[in-house]
Chain A
Amino acid sequence: MTRAGGVRGAALALLVLTGFASAEEPARLRVDPHARSAASLDHLPPILGTPELRDTLTSGLTTTLALRLRSPRTLLAAASVEIRWEPWDEVFLVTLTDGDGRRRETLDDPSQLVAWWASLRVVIPEAGPSSRLTEATTLEVTVLPFSAAEAADTERWFSESLEGAGRTRTEKIGQSTEENPSVVSRTLGLLLATSLERPEISHSEHRLQVEVASP
């Protein structure tokens, strides 16, 4: 299967699989303030098959899903999920960064990805007696089309490309060449390439059901 065919197949699979998901249930936050243990977030909304995410997830770039727990006015906790389609091996590489650190997995196909997402349990740290997690009411999910590292890499590459247009070469017999970007091209690179933005693909807010463990 060609890459293009593989990508299209994965995207279609995501559409189909997430389409079978039941009507959205609220995400669930389990908190035990007395035990000083981590809270957990599961039942994440089935958003992988949405039109915005379908193409992004199979682009080859690292799609970043930023998860935020909010009370009406306050950000209470955050975690992130990175999903990258590896085009050579045609697998999904997923990375969860939460209260437990960073965990990576390799998923062979879209169905595994959907299943993984559906069963995902995000660890929320610091759920002690002073925690305000019990006030959480909303789960925000922001989807970014590429990671910060990829943005930084592209900035560097773009800047070097602009500097390369104004480079002068000094070459002598028997010596290596030197490439010196001119001040103008260096300045141009700095102005145009600095801080490439990571636009939001989508931003959604979901109801949150908080379960507080009884003492």
Chain B
Amino acid sequence: MTRRSRPTLRTLGLAAGLIVVAGFLVRLASLWPDPTLHPEVRTALERSLEDQKVLARLDPEQEARRRATFDSTSRLLGRIQILEHNRDVIIGRYRLLLLGLASVFVLATLVVSRSRRRRLEIRLERVRGALEDLVREKRPVGLAGEARHRDIVGRIARMIEETSERVARDHRRLASLENLAAWQEAARRHAHEMRTPLTGARLELERLRDRARLSVLDADEVPTVTESVLEELDRLRTFVEAFTSFAKLPHPRLRSVDAERLLERWAETYSEAWPRLRLEVSETPPEPTFIRADPDMLREVLVNLAENAAEAGASRIRLAVSVELDTVRFSVADDGPGIAANVLPRLFEPYSTTREVGQGMGLGLAISRKILLDHGGELLLARSGDDGSVFHLVLPSATEPPA
């Protein structure tokens, strides 16, 4: 059955029902006049009239009373005869009255039904909006106005409220757990980064102490042990400096910089920094392109990206500059093995690294992204695959040339 035929059938059914009711009402209209005006009623009244006359003749002393009764009955008979003359008129009016009442009833029912349906639609729309808020924002939604109703819509509203509370609770718990997990991971790395050099230094000093106690210490051993301890302390210092650089990342000092020249000079300066990595500047805009940047901090980002590429085994990095509306885009493309899929979702988060514990904090890309954000730009991973990765440094363009 098509949607189009359903309303038609319903309309036909309603019309048929109304016709049956109308027919019933029409028949009902004549039910009460017919018994009232039945010939037997007249016959009984006429017999009563005769009886009064007979009784009056038989009991003359009661004639006045009989006459009064006779007149009363005669009047009633006359009224019935008048009603008989108007039977069709009265029945017609009665039918009109019943049909009018039925029509008013049907109309009122339709209006009430339509109004209820409209109110229900509004309530359902309200509930649907709350459901969308729940899906989108995962926070508690309030439907106090609907939840107090006892019907199905009210029950749905209460279910949505309860579910939103649960979802928000779970969401907060998950966020806390993720936060705790991140802190735990950070603490674990911090502890290991610090423990390794401290343990190494302690072992060297204990060995030196033991040998001194045993008086078997050789004079040449002290510089060696001292050197080892200093190496471990350097390692510790390196960790502290890296951690500090992330924690105390300075604000960039922005000025107008020639983008192409910065890139070319950096590639030239660091051409030998990674023996197995070749740096090439491949594309630059035909016109001079200026950016508002802190050149030292931008160089730090480029070093970090090149460092990661070199560690991953890349042999070449292609650098390019392009202009898009009011931004300048640096493209840094390597030919390494790409980034592991499990790292991608958290690539720019602190302590996100593929290195073993003790081989790096995983702060490089996080620091680089922070630097670009502080420039009013962004650091993006444009693409990563078996043939390498491409990072984009997006920076706001500058209209004036460098000073």
Contacts and interface: CB of A to CB of B under 8 A. Distances in A.
Interface of A: 2-4, 59-61, 87-88, 145-146, 150-151, 153-154, 157-158, 188, 191-192, 196-199
- Central interface residue in B78, B82, B83, by most chain A CB within 10 Å: B82
Interface in B46-96: 46, 49-50, 53, 67, 70-71, 74-75, 77-79, 81-83, 85-86, 89-90, 93-94
A158 B50 contact: no
A3 B79 contact: no
A186 to B, nearest CB: 14
B97 interface: yes
A76 B97 CA distance: 41
B75 to A, nearest CB: 8
Contacts of A192: 90, 93-94, 97
Given A146-B85, A196-B82, 10 more contacts: A4-B46, A60-B77, A88-B53, A88-B71, A88-B74, A151-B82, A158-B79, A188-B97, A192-B97, A196-B86
A61 B78 contact: yes
13 contacts: A2-B50, A3-B46, A59-B81, A61-B81, A87-B49, A87-B70, A88-B74, A146-B78, A154-B79, A158-B83, A191-B93, A196-B89, A197-B85
Nearest to B91: A192
Contacts of B67: 88
Contacts of A3: 46, 49-50, 53
A181 to B, nearest CB: 17
B56 to A, nearest CB: 8
Given A3-B53, A61-B82, A158-B79, A191 B74 contact: no
A157 B77 CA distance: 12
A118 B77 CA distance: 30
Nearest to A198: B85
A192 B81 CA distance: 17
Nearest to A187: B97
Nearest to A89: B67
Contacts of A151: 82
A145 to B, nearest CB: 6
A111 B86 CA distance: 32
B183 to A, nearest CB: 80
Contacts of B89: 196-197
Contacts of A150: 78, 82
Nearest to B80: A154
Nearest to B89: A197
Contacts of B97: 188, 191-192
A166 B307 CA distance: 102
A61 B89 CA distance: 20
> What 10 pairs between A and B have smallest CB-CB spacing?
A154-B82, A154-B79, A2-B50, A196-B86, A61-B78, A3-B49, A3-B50, A146-B82, A192-B93, A197-B89
A88 B78 CA distance: 14
B83 A154 contact: yes
Contacts of B81: 59-61, 145-146
Contacts of A157: 79
B402 to A, nearest CB: 96
Nearest to A157: B79
A190 B89 CA distance: 14
Contacts of B90: 192, 196
Contacts of A154: 78-79, 82-83
Nearest to A2: B50
A151 B83 CA distance: 9
B86 A4 contact: no
A88 B70 contact: yes
B74 to A, nearest CB: 6
Given A192-B97, A197-B86, A197-B89, A60 B79 contact: no
A188 B53 CA distance: 37
A2 B53 CA distance: 8
Contacts of A198: 85
Contact of B85 (A4, A87, A88, A199): A199
A190 B262 CA distance: 104
Contacts of B93: 191-192
Contacts of A153: 75, 79
A59 B74 CA distance: 10
Contacts of A158: 79, 83
A48 B97 CA distance: 39
Contacts of B70: 87-88
Nearest to B90: A192
Contacts of B94: 192
B234 to A, nearest CB: 106
A145 B81 CA distance: 9
- Central interface residue in B75, B79, B89, by most chain A CB within 10 Å: B79
A2 B48 CA distance: 11
Contacts of A191: 93, 97
B102 to A, nearest CB: 15
Contacts of B49: 3, 87
A145 B78 CA distance: 11
Nearest to B96: A191
B77 A145 contact: no
Contacts of A59: 78, 81
A95 to B, nearest CB: 17
A154 B82 CA distance: 7
B298 to A, nearest CB: 92
Contacts of B50: 2-4
A87 B77 CA distance: 12
B49 to A, nearest CB: 5
Contacts of A196: 82-83, 86, 89-90
